[in-house]
Chain A
């Protein structure tokens, strides 16, 4: 899922880099406050750890193999902010040193995996684990789901980024300049692999590690447990409100920025893309399950027809925005609910 260069337009890369920046900033500030002087060695060593985890190949049921990203483990042990930085550093070294993921795409990869992945993993884990004892089996289930969902949400966002490329960036003849497939292909293709193999790998490793730590090194699980943070961390929702405002602004601005960049780029010809003469026979070759999924995703877009939308392009962008927006909304809701629960628990 490390996006190489050439798959996303420079405008998309720049936008995602810009989107990642406020998270890095807030993460840096928070970690400085909580870890103080320990920040440098702790994050360095954990970044090295995340790097190593991505090299483990593990066998999955059904004869395939997959590797986990370790994002959920980092988020569970370090908390979302520490995890964001540690995983970002690991991704930078992977891109620069080992060619895993593009150089221009560093911002995109960090946004998808390090930032969104860490937040999803953190909320899912804390939401399900609640105030259960550190050795409760509930925490293993929470970890499993955190691993599975975080990697899949990250994959979904990546797929959306891929899927909007052909709508925004084509040359005069209608040639897609970057990832060539629309949302109707990109999303099912990406999710098929992640809902199964990659998701499973992450699930197994995350749950396995939490189970291992419960038996052998519980202190590590306590490092970021709400029981421990309830006294020191009063921030919660209020503390991050500013960040959410930034996200909301980004949510609105991102697609607009993409649009501006896209129209400036090439002559857009909507008819080229929609005239499906060449595609219909080949799509039928795809597995029926995929085709059905593809239908679901393209359905709301097909008859998208608002008076102010001149071409289909806007429809796609809006749908991408709605997609991203929905995810963020879910995050926010989960965040608020878990915060409420935590407060109620700590009040009693």
Chain B
């Protein structure tokens, strides 16, 4: 069929690109759910410790103001990534993506930030400053550390456990329930958005003109909006029918295990050393 060749072409095809983005989001969460239920050192830790640990490590990396501390934390993060059993094939796109993003933003800093000149680019005469290089390294490493740690946390922890940990940190039940329902309905809507685009795709041969694509996008958003409203009404009735009266009640229980008691001092030690370095080098 003549249309087939065009379907494969991703560049410029807005419908296909959006379908791909939606499918990727679904696949990624499925992968996270599978990995979280597999066995591994990180998988076995109490979710509350993972959540706090992730937050503490990210905060330590963000607060560090010597590059050595940041590099050391990057090494720790890499070690955790290996422990997590997440395949490098899954991690590398995340790392590369963040590197490209932060690199693009950080690169001009090499030349723009004033400081002792480290090198000069021949022909152009641009000076690379030591401070500029360091600031770019800060930016890239910190953003990589943070995204890796949060990715490790979410892929080794069941989402339901993340939610329950939030509860035990005193986050109001209402917010936790909204978060959990949002996550759940994202999948339903990813599916309906995907279906709408695929239905459109099957009727289109070749590339959609830009103005048509924009109209299609707006109409799809509109349909989704109407559906959301209907959906929220129906869900409300389903909740009411089972006794919901505005306040939500949920069950939660966690017990610490041996691994957890080991993990707590390790995390605190790493963060403590990081902060101590800030102090002595200040």
Contacts and interface: CB of A to CB of B under 8 A. Distances in A.
Interface string B148-181: 0011001000010010000000000011011101
A39 B182 CA distance: 13
Nearest to A5: B146
A228 interface: no
The main secondary structure of chain A at its interface with chain B is helix
B218 A217 contact: no
A204 B218 CA distance: 8
Given A56-B221, A205-B221, A220-B229, A37 B236 contact: yes
Interface stretch (B1-9, B107-115, B266-274): B107-115
Interface stretch (A169-177, A245-253, A320-328): A169-177
Interface stretch (B14-22, B35-43, B254-262): B14-22
Contacts of A159: none
B99 to A, nearest CB: 12
Interface stretch (B54-62, B80-88, B198-206): B54-62
Given A103-B150, A173-B130, A180-B112, A48 B225 contact: no
Contacts of B162: 96
A15 interface: no
Nearest to A92: B179
B221 A5 contact: no
Nearest to B159: A97
A52 B224 CA distance: 9
A212 B219 contact: yes
Q: Report the interface size class on chain B.
A: 35 or more
Nearest to A162: B105
A48 B226 contact: no
A298 B28 CA distance: 44
Nearest to A102: B146
Interface stretch (A275-283, A310-318, A329-337): A275-283
B12 interface: yes
B245 interface: yes
Nearest to A179: B139
Contacts, number: 286
Given A48-B186, A104-B59, A278 B178 contact: no
Contact of A58 (B63, B217, B228): B217
Given A41-B235, A208-B214, A47 B182 contact: yes
Interface in A77-110: 77, 85, 89-90, 92-93, 95-99, 102-104
B25 interface: yes
A57 B117 CA distance: 42
B186 A6 contact: no
Q: Which of A60, A174, A273 has the most CB of B within 10 A?
A: A174
A211 interface: yes
A302 B175 CA distance: 46
B195 interface: no
A124 interface: no
B179 A93 contact: yes
Contact of A57 (B17, B25, B177, B178): B17
A171 B277 CA distance: 13
Interface string B120-137: 000001110111101110
B34 interface: no
Interface string A194-210: 00000000001101110
The main secondary structure of chain B at its interface with chain A is helix
A57 B28 CA distance: 19
Q: Which of B101, B178, B223 has the most CB of A within 10 A?
A: B178
B213 interface: yes
A205 B218 CA distance: 5
A321 B175 CA distance: 32
B143 A37 contact: no
A142 B238 CA distance: 36
Nearest to A99: B147
B78 interface: no
A15 B263 CA distance: 30
B232 A102 contact: no
A44 interface: yes
A73 interface: yes
Contacts of A177: 65, 135, 138
Given A98-B25, A275-B114, 12 more contacts: A10-B63, A40-B244, A96-B150, A171-B134, A176-B131, A179-B139, A180-B113, A180-B135, A208-B222, A212-B223, A272-B114, A281-B126
21 contacts: A4-B98, A4-B101, A6-B146, A10-B59, A49-B225, A49-B228, A56-B221, A89-B179, A102-B58, A103-B55, A104-B59, A173-B131, A175-B115, A176-B138, A180-B136, A208-B219, A209-B222, A217-B229, A279-B111, A282-B112, A283-B112
Q: What 10 pairs between A and B have smallest CB-CB spacing?
A: A208-B218, A6-B142, A212-B222, A5-B146, A44-B181, A48-B185, A45-B232, A180-B109, A37-B246, A47-B182
